[in-house]
Structure 1
Amino acid sequence: MTEAPPVAEAVEPPRTEVNHSDGPIHTGTGNQLNDIRYYESRPRKPRVTSVTPASLRELADRFVAPPGFQRAATVLARSDGLVILSGAAGTGRNAAALMLLRTGITADTVVRFISPDRETSAVAVERRIFEAEDVRDDDRLVLDLSEADGESFAELQDYLPALQPALEQRRAKLVAILPHPHGESLKTELLPFVVEIRRPDMLEILRRRFAAEGLSATDLSGYRDAFGSSSIDALVRVVHRVREARHARPGIATDALLAEILNSAEKRRQRVAYAVKSLEAARPRALLIAAALLHGFSLQTVFLAQERLLESLRVADTEDHALEVPRVEQALAELTLELSVTPEPGQRLLFRDLELPAEVLRHFWDEMPWLRGRLTGWVGDLVESGVGTLDRFDMATVARRFGAQCRRTRDADLAVRLVEKWSDDRYQSQRSAAYTLLEELLDDDGTAPAARQLLYGWSRDARLSDGRAAIVVSACVKILAERYLDQAVVRLFWLADHSAPDVRLAAQDGLRQLAAEPGRRLAVIDAVLERWRFDPAKFAAVAAPELLSIFRGTAALERIVAGWQRALLESEGTRQSTLFRLWLRAYAEALTEGRSSDADAVQRLLAQVCAHHRELLDALFTTTLEWLDVRGDDPIRRRTAQVVEELVRRGRRLIAPEADS
């Protein structure tokens, strides 16, 4: 059986933007904060962070139970609450895990993903991944170990038996996914929980996927061999291509579109393989690689990139003709892949088939793996030197195309090398390319551990450059927190100890952004409340008074009040006054905006924080007087001061009634 031809990723179209000159930023707050604003403004499709009952129902419509699924369900139904799935990659183990956890959930239940990696250079208390105390009542958990290396996998196994009492006590369920193959490395006590998941009926999955997209195929039986060994991801890509083709050509039957797409993918691979085989010399092969990576870029840029690649490979020039740009266009025509060059001005290189560039890169990357290191150095040099007319967007495009190859073959180390190379550059365009490449790595479970470890190491560096600090903040807020919130908090927590004030404030603002989303606010607060990492300023950043109204009447409020008491009691002088001013501003802003109920909530919560602590009441009163003196003519401030004065009076009376009688 042959694998179904995967549909190559579409190559980005040529860009027409004209950008401002790109160099170091010397105005405003500096590179670091400008970088953060740029990264945060970029559009991004979020990953799945938790799975709700609604999304499980949607998945159920497309799910086909694989062999072994019912046995796994039986094992998971036991009071132990644990099942461990083995099986080959690409057989739908993640989907099976989610469907196993669907049984018995309520409308409020979500499936949570446990971080599979531990920080190799972390302090001891940070190295835990997930412990019994983290298990909630009726929890539904997925621990995907499929990409864990041998050493990490052996270490992580110690945690599964330790979780079982908590799973049973809290009626929780955990599905773990093993690496494949795992050989004899699995501990004996875990063997009773292991169930092998085998490949499901791929044609039935294809039918259901088509149905979910509103498509129907008359006869799929002829594709059993084509999809028999294909991964589910490859199958899904084919379905998406058929959907797009049907939208563009609504009159064509689904069967015909499917056949056309599969045949064209196979022909494309054969065509590229033939073209490469026909090019025996290094120079035309270098031109083909440069053209594929820089499709849509200027002819001059392609020419210069070809020359740099030849230099990096140390190939002597034995050609008869001179190395001039006009000769490149003629050489392109000899590549037999229907490349063209747009007219002046611009002269951009184009492939007629937009999927050929990705296929060319795939071919060289897979068939000549010994070139990967050299290609990595070449790509790094292209971006670092800004070869030709590359602007910030072009550099990000190069990073994305290179990252796609690293993701496919799990070559995270090569990509990390370029992230480190570009991220410390003084030009924002290179730093943007570094962020783009890091984003590619973080979006794939196979390459994400290396990227997360890089971010951790950076966050612990008290003298980290502004450019890298901006990458840490943005990556934690926009990417890492989507699935592994605690890891994002840890990195921002350490970065908030940076030697530079601007970086410290940016990291605290990152923590504040994490807590701004109501759905994860409590999780962020709880993470910062952990005893070993508690810090008053960082706690105040995530538990800002104006964010706490959603916890009114909940059990979490007690923990938050205790956290604020601790923050204030552990602070003195100016630091304590700064924390109290957050409460005064929150109350005043609510009054100014006509949110009287929110103002009342802030007042009540502040009274709880200061209750039974005479020293806090005294400090609050003093801070309020100082705050009022700054703008004593402001009616909102005067009203706030009156409310606080009454709050302090009542608080003192409760502590020592006789003193105020």
Structure 2
Amino acid sequence: MTDAPDPPGAGGTGDYYNTTFHFHGSEPPPDFMSARNTPPRQVADQQLSRLQQRFARPTGINDAYDTLERHNIVFLYGTPGNGRTTAARVLLRELPRGSGVYQELTPDADGQSPEPLTPELIGEGDRMLLDLSDAKEDVWTRCHDRFPGFHKVLLDKRSFLAVVLPHAHADGLSPDFAAYRKPVNRPDDLEVIARHLRLRGVDPGSLWHAPKELTDYLTEKPPMRELASTADIIVDACRTAKPEDSFADWCRQAIAAATIRAEEVNDFLPDLRAGSQRALLLSVAMLHGAPADLIHRAAAILRGSLRIAGDDRPLLEHESLTERLREVGASRNDEARVHFDKLRYDHAVRHFFWRNMPDLRRPLRDWVEQVLALPQFPEEGRKDVVVRLAELCALTEDADRLAEPARDWALRYGDPARLRAAADWLGWGVRHEDEPTSRHFRQAIYSWAIRPVEPDLRRVLTEVCVNVMASTHPEQAVVRLHHLARREPFDEGSAKNSARHVLLRLVEMDTRLRLHLLYRLAFMPRQRRPGRQRALDAWLFLGLLTMPSRPEHIFLQLSSTRLWLSMCWIDVLWGFSSRSWLPHVQRWMTTTDAADDPELVHLALDVLVDAAAENYPALRQIYLTARKSLSAEKTEWLLSRIEEAQRRRPPRRADPEKETRT
């Protein structure tokens, strides 16, 4: 990507907006952000590929595929927990892929954003998912009314849409689309588990002879999400099994781990009366798989924070760490990492303490904050601890408060380890497989982004938007990055990691995202935008114009998108001095002059004339620039358009001061 233009006013004055932008020369703070080398769309496609590999095809799914392929749209319904959304993703993945991209439309559009079913945002050959499984009646009605017009655009652009119907309104589909409504039946449970196991490198052998414990468990018809978790436990059982154990033994151990471990902890804990023993037990559970020295140090911190008396005997009379671990049912492996001897025992211990000792919850959260900052904590293990604590909080916290710990960490600490932990916490929530939980996290990030935030929190939110949310909800990532960019100082932080530069790098990868940002830049309510934010929006628009292949054909082909371009040019031409915008006008004209399509040339010049129609100084500068940049024929055509615009709407002169500066 060509570098974005310098911020308006950088290095001098001359902007009409009552603000001056500049960068300080101070060194940026330490960069905690992880660089993404893979575009978000490619990450999403890789995730779809893995999903397809472990997808067990239910009966009737081929009929749904045929409907989608022939008619470009399909509506899926079925019992919640049957994997309706997964089926929709796989169907879209299986379609022949051309120039289009896969994208998940969000029904609850936030901020000043276009509706999810906006025709201008459809690319040629796009494959789209609209998950309405949790949609409320007003959202369902709004989307339902747009299906007829949207379907026509799908056919014209050879694009595809799979809609997951809300269970409460699955029978309320218009008769016009009744033939495109297809069920998603429950797949074979054993096949679901087998596919998960094979993908993880475990050969299940013949599942026709699965142990009774597994078949009894499957008769309860657990949700597909729970089946995947059970398969993961079987994999863990395989890796810790004895050489003589069979697949049936692994299944029995996994079912036992999922059903009776809590009872074992309940029976075992009363025998551990000493606070030091329980502190070690909880430390092992929270840091399961961590180095022994780290667990020893973490247990000591937990004892201190809970005011548990230490061993006052001479050091050589203390019990060894191996002995103390054995007392709590744990041991060290050959790599000096600590594990419980029983499968999934760590999970049961964590849940026991959290549910049965409510007063311990806040101290435990504070303890995790301290442990994350320990220098001996391996980088690869930090995220596991953050996720374990987040999963515990999800058991008891209200969903709308679940994101608060990450905000607290980002505001209270400035060290990279805890900022990274805050990003991991929010990333866990955004990626959560439960859509309402993910939605709460995305809404929390939005509510923080629309207000001025501290630099550290802004960096965390920027990181989560570009490296997590952009893979699953890219349009929502654009919305949040836009709000962050409009409120960040120009003299703060590293330029490459500022929200404005991250935003431009993100939308560069995807034409749909560029259109999404262009819409926002054009239609953000002007009466509610301070001058500085309007200037930043105009600067972002100029950044869009620095991207390759300008002016974009797709931007110019539709009258609506040409209107968006003109509205953004109006802000630029009225807002900045000609010194700021003339190079961009010249680049626009140079690119236009190289186009072979006369219609495209006319449309591109129309955009500039429409934007400057009421700005006489800008019209004059545009014409003078055209004489230097365009052929005589095109310059003559531009002059005729300017004269036509003047006859239709006499230009309004800028005030004397502005005209002089221009």
Q: What TM-score, normalized by structure 1, do the two folds share?
A: 0.68
The answer (yes or no) to whether the contact 1:83–1:176 under 8 Å persists in 2 is yes
Q: SS where residue 427 of structure 1 aligns?
A: coil
How far residue 94 of structure 1 moved from its aligned partner, in angstroms, is 2.2
- Rounded to whole Å, the distance in 2 between the matches of 1:331 and 1:306 is 19
Aligned pair in 2 of structure 1 residues 364, 277: CA closer, same or farther (>3 Å)? farther
Deviation at 1:64? Answer: 3.6
Please tell me whether the aligned partners of residues 546 and 586 of structure 1 are also in contact (alpha carbons under 8 angstroms): no
**CA separation of 1:69/1:500 partners in 2, compared to 1, >3 Å: closer, same or farther?**
same
Letter of the structure 2 residue corresponding to residue 97 of structure 1: A
How many pairs does the alignment contain?
573
Choose the corresponding residue for 1:304, options 294, 300, 304: 300
Measured in 2, the distance between the counterparts of 1:155 and 1:271 equals: 44
Distance 2:633 2:586 in 1: 18
CA–CA distance in structure 2, aligned partners of residues 130 and 380 of structure 1? 45
* Structure 1 residues 153 and 464: CA distance shift in structure 2, 3 A: same
**1:492–1:508 CA contact under 8 A, matched in 2:** yes
- Answering whether residue 540 of structure 2 is matched by residue 541 of structure 1, we say yes
Ranges in structure 1 where 5+ consecutive residues have no aligned partner? 1-25, 343-347, 591-595, 625-642
Instruction: State the partner residue of 1:332.
Output: 324
The change in CA–CA distance for 1:55 and 1:80 in structure 2 (over 3 A counts) is closer
User: Hey, what does 2:473 align to over in structure 1?
Assistant: 484
The unaligned stretches of length 5 or more in structure 2 are: 1-23, 527-533, 596-600, 643-662
Structure 1 counterpart of 2:337, from 336, 347, 350: 350
- Give the aligned residue type for 2:75: V
1:572-651 aligned within 5 A: 572=574, 574=576, 576-582=578-584, 610=608, 615-616=617-618, 618-619=620-621, 645-647=628-630
Residue of 38, 62, 84 corresponding to 1:93: 84
User: What's the offset of the Cα at 1:422?
Assistant: 0.1
- Superposition map of 1:401-480 within 5 A: 401-405=388-392, 412=399, 415-428=402-415, 429-446=417-434, 447-461=437-451, 463-480=452-469
Q: 1:233 to 1:502 in 2, by over 3 A?
A: farther
Does 2:145 match 1:162?
Answer: yes
Question: 1:412·1:450 contact (CA, 8 Å) conserved in 2?
Answer: yes
Residue aligned with 2:187, SS: coil
Distance 1:576 1:384 in 2: 54
Query: What's the CA shift string for 1:298-317, capped at 9, x where partnerless?
Result: 25532234325645xxxx86
Pair 1:175 & 2:163 matched: yes
1:386–1:406 Cα change, 3 Å:
closer
Distance in structure 1 (CA, Å) of the matches to 2:58 and 2:492: 50
Structure 1 residue identity aligned to 2:571: E
Structure 1 equivalent of residue 269 of structure 2: 279
Aligned residue number for residue 570 of structure 1: 571
Name which of 58, 61, 82 aligns with 1:66.
Answer: 58
Whole-Å Cα distance in 1 between the matches of residues 331 and 37 of structure 2? 31
Q: What's the counterpart of residue 286 of structure 2? A: 293
Q: In the alignment, residue 85 of structure 2 is paired with which amino acid?
A: N
% of aligned pairs identical? Answer: 17
Q: CA deviation at 1:424?
A: 0.6
Aligned equivalents of 1:351, 1:395: Cα separation in 2 = 15
1:448 Cα deviation after fit? 1.7
Once the two structures are superposed, residues 399-427 of structure 1 have per-residue CA deviations (whole angstroms, 9 ceiling, x without a partner) of: 23323555789975564131121011242
Farther-moved stretch of structure 1 (465-474 vs 190-199): 190-199
Is the Cα contact below 8 Å between 1:303 and 1:328 reproduced in 2?
no
Q: Map 1:492-511 onto structure 2 (within 5 A).
A: 492-498=481-487, 500-502=489-491, 506-511=498-503
- C-alpha distance in 1 between matches for 2:224 and 2:70: 29
Change (3 A) 1:566 1:426: same
Q: Secondary structure at the match of 2:427?
A: helix
Q: What is the deviation of 1:205?
A: 3.6
Partners of 2:264 and 2:342 in 1: CA distance: 16
Q: Structure 1: which amino acid aligns with 2:540?
A: A
Contact 1:425/1:431 (8 A) holds in 2: no
**Counterparts in 2 of 1:304 and 1:186: CA distance versus 1, 3 Å:** farther
1:104 Cα deviation from its structure 2 partner: 7.5
| Aligned mates of 1:115, 1:109 — CA distance in 2 | 18
SS of the residue 1:472 aligns to? helix
- Separation in structure 2 between the aligned mates of residue 79 and residue 458 of structure 1, nearest angstrom: 42
Structure 2-normalised TM-score? 0.67
In the TM superposition, what is the alpha-carbon distance from 1:467 to its structure 2 partner?
A: 0.7
Which residue of 1 is the match for residue 368 of structure 2?
Answer: 382
Q: C-alpha deviations, 1:504-546, integer Å up to 9, x for none?
A: 9722212211122145554444443552368564355365333
Structure with more relative contact order (C-alpha pairs < 8 Å, separation 6 or more): 2
The answer on whether the counterparts of 1:516 and 1:547 sit within 8 Å (CA) in structure 2 is: yes
Superposed CA RMSD in Å reads 5.4
Counterpart of 2:75 in structure 1 is 83
1:40 pairs with one of 34, 39, 56: 34
